[in-house]
């Protein structure tokens, strides 16, 4: 039997699901990235055709390519620091060519080698997203051609998506994902180009859910759409359209929210950033400090042309400074991919936790790793049971040591960290 008080004497409200390992999730979002193509170089003249008074950058002085040597340099540095996040692969970047076929200006081998880097070296620590099809002109998915009208109504960044149904958006998103699938990339989420779907988020969520399920078979889809930089506003992931949670085929869509602006090098690689906006030199303030101190996921963003900054790598240097400052200040961060954050929050929202006389029972529609809870019980030898399989949880010496299959006593409470399976499992003693 469990030590007093028994589980039945507590109530469901006092079992608190914490962040994974009791840490604060951190993730880095890279937008406007793809194979080889500098999206700013090819995109700005298309945007200027629609809004000539707004886009006055001298795009001709920008490099047309962001080389793979830089991609490798960036990934190697991130791997050395444990950084995880999201990396877009725009499927038909600015209508230049197709990632699953060819891009004029580069050989087939150059394209295949570029995609191989992402497939083999990025995918372990980075979610791959389509950023819709072209990130510029809307594509007629019946013909594969851009619509001829260069107006906001036929640009992915602006009006086309705002009144589309979930089915229409889902078909468009699925088209983009199929290109990446044919290129050998795996996706559980998408990024919205510019203002895509910003007034149509419920349908965007449902369309993403449909498309990810249709193309890749994943039951938890996620999408990055919004940025919130105002202090005090929540940036927690939002769960949309949970379905079939009591059956064998559950699914949902998760809206990932970023907490910063692009303060690295801008979307065009022409706007110098400032690391102090993320975290100050004395480590005492900045937007990331605000969010981390709140305990919510600190997800910050950049645009790939600004990280490369036309070969000067100004954005990359700012990023290095920000990461090094974060690691200097905090020892309780956990770098996660967006799909990992989405799965954890989906499980947190949907798992039923029942307190019984001598067990805590979990009924989970979704699996997730490092599921961490604070329970109002003094434990001694907790046992985690899944069917006939038993796992004796290992006691650790501090909350910061929590990991797979461990627990930590904290006064009259205990914190447990388990890999939560789908279906029924229980904590016993």
CA-wise closest residue to 204 among 133, 242, 251, 254? 254
Read off the DSSP letter of residue 137: B
pLDDT at position 1 is: 26
The structure tokens 């009006």 sit at 159
- Please give the class, per CATH, of domain 30-331: alpha beta
The structure tokens 């022409």 sit at 270
pLDDT at position 14 is: 78
pLDDT at position 358 is: 77
The strand order across the sheet containing 383-386 reads 352-355, 359-364, 423-428, 383-386, 389-392
Q: Within the chain, which residue ranges are assigned CATH 2.60.40.1180? A: 7-18+351-428
CA-wise closest residue to 278 among 225, 328, 337? 328
Q: Which two tokens stand for residue 399?
A: 């909350």
Please report the sign of the dihedral spanned by the C-alpha atoms of residue 330, residue 331, residue 336, residue 341: negative
Collapse the DSSP code of 395 into the 3-class scheme (helix H, G, I; strand E, B; otherwise coil) and give the result.
strand
Residue 347 Cα distances to 19, 128, 231, 255, angstroms: 12, 22, 27, 14
Q: What is the CATH number of domain 7-18+351-428?
A: 2.60.40.1180
Q: Quick one: residue 199, left, alpha or beta (phi over 0 = left, psi -120 to 50 = alpha)?
A: alpha
User: Which H helix or E strand runs over 41?
Assistant: helix 39-50
Q: Within the chain, which residue ranges are assigned CATH 3.20.20? A: 30-331
Half-sphere exposure of 119 (CA within 13 A, CB side): 14
**Residues contacting residue 275 through CB under 8 Å, at least 6 positions apart:** 263, 318, 321, 322, 325
pLDDT at position 378 is: 84
End-to-end CA distance of the chain: 6
For residue 28, the cross-strand partners are 85, 300
Residue 62 Cα distances to 59, 272, 330, angstroms: 5, 15, 37
For each of the chain's 429 residues, which pLDDT tens digit applies?
Answer: 233 233 444 444 479 999 999 999 999 999 999 999 999 999 999 999 999 999 999 999 999 999 999 999 999 999 999 999 999 999 999 999 999 999 999 999 999 999 999 999 999 999 999 999 999 999 999 999 999 999 999 999 999 999 999 999 999 999 999 999 999 999 999 999 999 999 999 999 999 999 999 999 999 999 999 999 999 999 999 999 999 999 999 999 999 999 999 999 999 999 999 999 999 999 999 999 999 999 999 999 999 999 999 999 999 999 999 999 999 999 999 999 999 999 999 999 999 999 887 789 999 999 999 999 999 888 889 999 999 999 999 999 999 999 999 999 999 999 999 999 999 999 998
Cα-trace Rg, the chain:
23
Whole-prediction pTM value? 0.96
């Amino acid at each position: 039997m469990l030590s007093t008080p028994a589980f039945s004497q507590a109530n469901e409200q006092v079992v608190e699901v914490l962040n994974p390992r009791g840490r604060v999730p951190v993730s880095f979002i890279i937008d406007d990235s793809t194979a080889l193509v500098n999206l700013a170089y090819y995109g700005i003249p298309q945007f200027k055709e629609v809004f000539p008074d707004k886009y006055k950058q001298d795009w001709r002085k920008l490099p047309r390519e962001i080389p793979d040597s830089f991609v490798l340099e960036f990934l190697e540095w991130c791997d050395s620091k444990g950084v995880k996040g999201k990396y877009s692969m725009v499927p038909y970047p600015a209508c230049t060519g197709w990632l699953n076929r060819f891009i004029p200006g580069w050989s087939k081998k150059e394209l295949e080698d570029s995609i191989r880097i992402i497939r083999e070296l990025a995918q372990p620590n980075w979610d791959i997203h389509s950023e819709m099809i072209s990130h510029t002109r809307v594509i007629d998915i019946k013909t594969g051609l851009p619509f001829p009208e260069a107006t906001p109504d036929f640009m992915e960044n602006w009006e086309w998506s705002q009144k589309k149904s979930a089915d229409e958006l889902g078909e468009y998103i699925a088209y983009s994902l199929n290109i990446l699938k044919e290129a050998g990339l795996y996706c559980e989420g998408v990024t919205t180009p510019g203002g895509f779907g910003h007034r149509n988020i419920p349908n965007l969520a449902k369309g993403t859910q449909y498309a990810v399920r249709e193309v890749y078979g994943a039951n938890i889809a996620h999408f990055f759409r919004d940025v919130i930089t105002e202090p005090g506003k929540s940036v927690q992931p939002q769960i949309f359209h949970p379905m079939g949670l009591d059956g064998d085929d559950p699914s949902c869509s998760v809206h990932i929210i970023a907490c910063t602006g692009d303060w690295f090098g801008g979307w065009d690689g022409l706007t110098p950033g400032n690391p102090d906006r993320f975290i100050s030199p004395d480590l005492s303030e900045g937007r990331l400090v605000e969010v981390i101190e709140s305990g919510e996921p600190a997800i910050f963003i950049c645009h790939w042309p600004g990280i490369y900054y036309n070969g000067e790598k100004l954005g990359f240097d700012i990023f290095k400074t920000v990461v090094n400052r974060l690691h200097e200040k905090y020892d309780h961060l956990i770098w996660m991919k967006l799909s990992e954050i989405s799965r954890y929050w989906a499980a947190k929202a949907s798992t039923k936790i029942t307190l019984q006389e001598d067990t805590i029972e979990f009924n989970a529609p979704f699996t997730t790793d490092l599921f961490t809870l604070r329970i109002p019980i003094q434990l001694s030898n907790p046992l985690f049971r899944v069917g006939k399989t038993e796992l004796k949880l290992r006691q650790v010496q501090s909350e910061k040591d929590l990991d797979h299959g461990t627990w930590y006593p904290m006064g009259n409470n205990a914190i447990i960290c388990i890999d939560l399976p789908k279906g029924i499992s229980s904590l016993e003693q």
